[in-house]
Amino acid sequence: MEKEKNESEGYRVAELDRQAKYVVLVLVLSGVFWLLFGTLLALVASLKMHAPDWLSQSSWLTFGRVRPLHLNTVVYGWASMTGAGVALWMLSRLLKTPIFLRGYIMVAAMVWNLALAVGSIQILAGYSRGIEWLEFPTPVMVVIVLCVVVMSISVIMMLVARKVKHLYVSVWYILAAFIWFPLLGIVSSLPIFDTPTVQAGMNWWYAHNALGLWFTPVGLAAAYYFIPKVLGRPIYSYGLSLIGFWGLALFYNWNGFHHLIGGPVPTWFVTISISASVMMVIPVVVVAVNHHMTVVGSFSAIKYSPTLRFVVFAAMSYTFVSLQGSMQALRSVNEIIHFTHFVVAHAHIGLYAFVTMMLFGACYYILPRVLLREWHSKPLIKLHFWLTASGIILYVAALQYIGFFQGLAMNDPDVPFTETVTMTMPYLVARSASGVLMAAGHLIFAWLVFKMAFSPAEEVDTPALWEKIRKEFAV
């Protein structure tokens, strides 16, 4: 009896995956393309930091255009598109409902890609909006937001048509993300932020929230989904999930203004933001406890499951980057690290060590299920993990170490400014080296994904598990 139920359950799941196939595939493949493009731009920008004359003949390839485009392509191309694909797939599984508006979403994804291509050319040609995280000209941004709105409508329709009573914690996060991001995108595109200080406020409200209210909820939803899924163990506590979610919803929105410490804005404006940034410790610690207690005792599983290894690395990075962020918001700390490489590294722990690694882990789980094929090489998956993990660790160690001393030197009136630049040189070279490691990892990942998606002949049907196959770890 029990077995029969499981079997029909299995067929239902397979049917959901079949329906999700093309939506997930289009979003993930687009994401991987923009990841490669964004990585190339990152390498160019990083090399320019210690070889400033390289590629400076053409204005299209100057640092001031390449670096913003790197940010915009990895954020709105890789992380947003892949994240949306992963989120829609999880939602379909969790609500036991096929993804709605599949045709519209496919069209939206194509339009999205087109918008990214147009926006990229505009930034390289010098038509940037000049606001960090919002360099794409407003029309491009509006198009991207509308594409997400199509998915948001689908998400709400799925929620209405759901076949489950209990809403799992990942569902809350995904639903919130698909409401928050369109709001952020639309508000930041309104032509009402014309005075410089107000624009700066909007800038950091948007940029910080894009990370905290769009990528973070998708990333946490994935952690809450894949950890118990791979381990076959229940999430430690429903109550803690609640505190974690509402803590994020309550405190995060205020955080961005700590970027304006020392700027010409009212003191209360910054102080409230700093308080809220510190309060973020609450949801972060609660989520960390919840995840850790779920995995504890089963840590050996990361030896076998690529998904789990990436997800656990990402979840730990989330705790680390968030606690670091709360510290950085304090005026006394900010005084030192503001305008240094320390902050650059901090942003990369957030978007790379947390969000990107989480998405890698999710892809390793999802793609074999929607494609009904297997990954082509287990050692290459392992290599992908070690290249990207060691790359980001080297990146953060080098830049945060020197960033701290750079900050101290910049605050010392007796140190000439040139010296604060030259002292960072060896570490900027290390940053480029770490970039090469990560880029190599991305190439491997892209090869694995494209090989799996486009090679019709080979059908590998053993799951990509390292070492012996174990029931508990279905990839």
Residue 182 C-beta: closest distance to another protein, Å: 28
Residue 11 C-beta: closest distance to another protein, Å: 11
User: Given the rule CB under 8 A, which residues bind another protein?
Assistant: 9-10, 13, 94, 166, 168-169, 197, 225, 228-229, 232-241, 262-268, 271-272, 274-276, 278-279, 281-282, 285-286, 289-290, 293, 297-298, 300-301, 331, 368-369, 413-414, 416-418, 461-463, 469-472, 474-475
Closest to another protein by CB, 94 or 402: 94
Cα angle 310-366-147, degrees, rounded to a multiple of 5: 100
454 contacts: CB under 8 Å, gap ≥ 6: none
Residue 169 C-beta: closest distance to another protein, Å: 7
Residue 369 C-beta: closest distance to another protein, Å: 7
Residue with tokens 């499981």: 6
Closest to another protein by CB, 241 or 317: 241
Residue 222 C-beta: closest distance to another protein, Å: 13
Maximum pairwise Cα distance, the chain: 80
Closest to another protein by CB, 202 or 438: 202
Q: How far is Cα 168 from Cα 366, in angstroms, rounded to an integer?
A: 18
Closest to another protein by CB, 204 or 395: 204
Q: Which two tokens stand for residue 190?
A: 């309104």
Residue 257 C-beta: closest distance to another protein, Å: 13
Closest to another protein by CB, 375 or 385: 375
Closest to another protein by CB, 268 or 454: 268
- Are the C-beta atoms of residues 280 and 252 closer than 8 Å to each other? yes
Closest to another protein by CB, 86 or 387: 86
Q: Which two tokens stand for residue 394?
A: 């080297």
Q: How far is Cα 278 from Cα 255, in angstroms, rounded to an integer?
A: 9
Residue 211 C-beta: closest distance to another protein, Å: 21
Buried b (16+ CB within 10 A) or exposed e, 103-114: eebbebbeebbe
Residue 472 Cα distances to 230, 302, 315, 339, 469, angstroms: 7, 11, 20, 47, 9
Q: How far is Cα 331 from Cα 199, in angstroms, rounded to an integer?
A: 22
Q: How far is Cα 334 from Cα 342, in angstroms, rounded to an integer?
A: 10
* Cα R_g (the chain), whole angstroms: 22
Q: How far is Cα 99 from Cα 24, in angstroms, rounded to an integer?
A: 10
Closest to another protein by CB, 34 or 225: 225
- Are the C-beta atoms of residues 176 and 209 closer than 8 Å to each other? no
Q: How far is Cα 236 from Cα 56, in angstroms, rounded to an integer?
A: 54
Closest to another protein by CB, 209 or 326: 326
Q: How far is Cα 38 from Cα 207, in angstroms, rounded to an integer?
A: 18
Residue 262 C-beta: closest distance to another protein, Å: 7
